[in-house]
């Protein structure tokens, strides 16, 4: 059921430009934004300086790794004077090691970081401010989806260029749909349709859903659907105990209470592969699991359970690190490489990740990947939390509250109220440690 292709789209179009960096405003935020050196010559489609080898770190240790490596291999084959050496490692290890490694000149020149890690890395002085480079390459919000582009800014300074977007969606078993009398080509899109599908599956003796207690990603999309958010706009206060948050969490718990999901289950993906449940909310990358080849399955947009479309999402973003400061050749090579990798990302759809670059996303190669299209269709409804340093480490109390409610039947309002108090204390500590703002 999977649609695969192997073409890499190299679509370099930007022209050579010179950055007069005496006029580039790097801005300041947290530790301040490092900016490229003076008289840096940047070309979007060529690099004419001396030979440079760039170190690139990424978190692609799974099945997505070979696809990313194939993009780099094609880049290296086409660029004698710029070679990229890739190092893949666990994401948590990478983010922990990067600051010290870069300060000692033993880290990456380029990296692929999750968007939620950008603010903390930026205020630690790890990342080069890219405003001048991006401007002279001619990159704007119009080249990407709005939310993924804006997420690369911290305190008014751009630190990253989007490489992809990934998000949750609905996976469903077409054979089980047919057994329940449902149309396998019409997956549910609304709350009414989803509830009706669950009822039909239950009546046919088929497990409709598989709701794990650890469901913060699902909650983030649902609270936005009901008109709320996990944090206020500047990320200084937790707001997930709002009526919208209570309604979102109550619905997730109802999947268990109404008998549509077993209680206290884990590994929903494994259950789906085994044909145990008919529907599940999974990340788009799950479509690349070869075990799914044994199933007759499909994908759809994350259903609208609330009042408006919204879905959890994240992004891998390309960054240039401060390790290249003071070396104009390495900076020029790095800027060229980042632009090219973004443009050559069509094959990334083979890893079931949505390329961020609009021209790539709309290419025939990407459009041919059938089960990726529902994810592309919901790009503009993706929900990111504010770009604030340390924000991700404040989510633990919320995660624990969600587990209590879905797993043990705790009162949603009480659990969320208690979590908000704990979260706000973490946010205050983060503000003292990193500074605040987005």
Give pLDDT tens digits for 131-161. 999 988 899 999 999 999 999 999 999 999 9
Average pLDDT on 339-356 reads: 97
Q: Is the pLDDT of residue 1 over 50?
A: no
What value does the CA radius of gyration of the chain take, rounded to a whole number of Å?
22
Phi, psi for 76 (deg, rounded to 5): -60, -40
- CA pseudo-torsion sign 261, 262, 264, 269: negative
**Mean per-residue pLDDT of the chain:** 91
Q: Which residue has the tokens 């192997």?
A: 6
Helical H segments across 231-363, by residue range: 243-257, 268-273, 328-343, 358-361
Q: Which residue has the tokens 């088929």?
A: 206
Is 216:405 a contact under the CB 8 Å cutoff?
no
Task: Please give the Cα distance from 415 to 250 (Å, whole number).
Answer: 11
All residues at 6 or more sequence positions from 188 whose CB lies less than 8 Å from its CB, including other chains? 170, 194, 196, 197, 279, 300, 303
Q: Which CATH class is domain 16-159+316-355?
A: alpha beta
Please give the structure tokens belonging to residue 97.
């090691």
Q: Which residue has the tokens 């993009």?
A: 71
| Nearest residue to 416 (alpha-carbon basis) of 292, 248, 259 | 248
More confident residue, 225 or 17: 225
Task: Please give the Cα distance from 289 to 4 (Å, whole number).
Answer: 12
Q: Is the pLDDT of residue 41 over 90?
A: no
Q: Do the domains 16-159+316-355 and 167-313+385-434 sit in the same CATH topology, yes or no?
A: yes
Q: Which CATH class is domain 167-313+385-434?
A: alpha beta
DSSP element (H, E) containing 300? strand 297-300
Q: What are the DSSP calls for 303-329, one per residue?
A: PB-SSS--EEEE-EEEEEBGGGTT-HH
Phi, psi for 291 (deg, rounded to 5): -65, -20
Question: pLDDT digits over 51-110, tens only?
Answer: 999 999 999 999 999 999 999 999 999 999 999 999 999 999 999 999 999 999 999 999
Angle among Cα 372, 374, 379 to the nearest 5 degrees reads: 95
Which own/partner pairs from 49-52 qualify as long-range (CB within 8 Å, at least 24 positions apart)? 49/81, 49/329, 49/332, 49/333, 50/81, 50/329, 51/80, 51/81, 51/82, 51/83, 52/81, 52/82, 52/83, 52/329, 52/330, 52/333
Looking at residue 23, what is its pLDDT? 27
| Nearest residue to 98 (alpha-carbon basis) of 118, 83, 82, 84 | 118
Average pLDDT on 176-187 reads: 98
For residue 384, what pLDDT band results from cuts at 50, 70 and 90? Answer: very high
Average pLDDT on 344-371 reads: 97
Task: Please give the Cα distance from 384 to 189 (Å, whole number).
Answer: 22
Task: Please give the Cα distance from 313 to 301 (Å, whole number).
Answer: 12
Question: pLDDT digits over 265-283, tens only?
Answer: 999 999 999 999 999 999 9
C-alpha pair distances (Å), 387 with each of 72, 113, 215: 28, 14, 21
For residue 46, what pLDDT band results from cuts at 50, 70 and 90? Answer: confident
Task: Please give the Cα distance from 416 to 216 (Å, whole number).
Answer: 12
Q: Rounded to the nearest 10 degrees, how much is the dihedral formed by the CA atoms of 206, 209, 210, 213? A: -140
Task: Please give the Cα distance from 392 to 389 (Å, whole number).
Answer: 8
Average pLDDT on 350-368 reads: 97
Q: Where are the domains of the chain?
A: 16-159+316-355, 167-313+385-434
Other CB atoms within 10 Å distance of the CB of residue 308? 10
Looking at residue 146, what is its pLDDT? 94
Phi, psi for 43 (deg, rounded to 5): -120, 135
| Nearest residue to 374 (alpha-carbon basis) of 314, 437, 287 | 287
């Amino acid at each position: 059921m999977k649609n695969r292709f192997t073409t890499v789209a190299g679509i370099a179009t930007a022209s050579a430009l010179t950055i007069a960096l005496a006029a580039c405003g790097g801005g300041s935020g947290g530790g301040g934004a490092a900016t490229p050196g003076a008289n840096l010559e940047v070309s979007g489609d060529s690099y004419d300086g001396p030979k440079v080898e760039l170190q690139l770190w990424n978190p692609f240790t799974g099945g997505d790794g070979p696809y990313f490596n194939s993009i780099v291999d094609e880049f290296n084959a086409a660029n004698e004077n710029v070679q990229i050496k890739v190092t893949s490692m666990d994401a948590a290890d990478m983010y922990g090691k990067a600051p010290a490694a870069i300060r000692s000149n033993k880290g990456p020149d380029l990296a692929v970081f999750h968007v939620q890690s950008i603010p903390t890395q930026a205020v630690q002085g790890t990342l080069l401010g890219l405003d001048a480079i991006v401007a002279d390459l001619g990159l704007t919000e119009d080249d990407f989806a709005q939310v993924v582009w804006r997420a690369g800014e911290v305190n008014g300074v751009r630190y990253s260029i989007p490489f992809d977007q990934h998000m949750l969606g609905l996976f469903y078993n077409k054979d089980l749909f047919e057994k329940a009398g449902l149309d396998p080509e019409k997956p549910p899109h609304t709350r009414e349709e989803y509830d009706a599908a669950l009822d039909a599956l239950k009546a046919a003796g088929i497990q409709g859903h598989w709701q794990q207690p650890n469901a913060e990603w699902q909650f983030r999309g649902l609270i936005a659907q009901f008109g709320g958010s996990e944090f206020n706009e500047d990320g200084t206060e937790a707001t997930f105990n709002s009526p919208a948050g209570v309604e979102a969490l109550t619905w997730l718990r109802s999947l268990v209470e109404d008998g549509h999901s077993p209680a206290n289950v884990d590994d929903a993906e494994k259950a789906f592969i085994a044909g145990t449940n008919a529907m599940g909310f999974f990340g788009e990358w799950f479509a690349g699991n070869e075990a799914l080849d044994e199933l007759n399955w499909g994908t759809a947009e994350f259903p609208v359970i609330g009042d408006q479309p919204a879905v959890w999402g994240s992004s891998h973003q390309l960054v240039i690190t401060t390790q290249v400061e003071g070396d104009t050749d390495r900076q020029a090579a790095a800027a060229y490489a980042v632009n090219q990798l973004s443009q050559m990302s069509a094959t990334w759809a083979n890893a079931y990740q949505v390329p961020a670059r609009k021209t790539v996303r709309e290419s025939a190669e990407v459009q041919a990947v059938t089960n990726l299209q529902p994810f592309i269709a919901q790009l503009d409804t993706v929900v990111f939390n504010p770009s604030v340093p340390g924000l991700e480490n404040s989510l633990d109390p919320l995660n624990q509250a969600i587990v209590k409610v879905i797993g043990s039947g705790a009162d949603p309002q009480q659990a969320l109220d208690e979590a908000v108090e704990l979260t706000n204390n973490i946010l205050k500590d983060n503000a003292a440690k990193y500074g605040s703002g987005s």
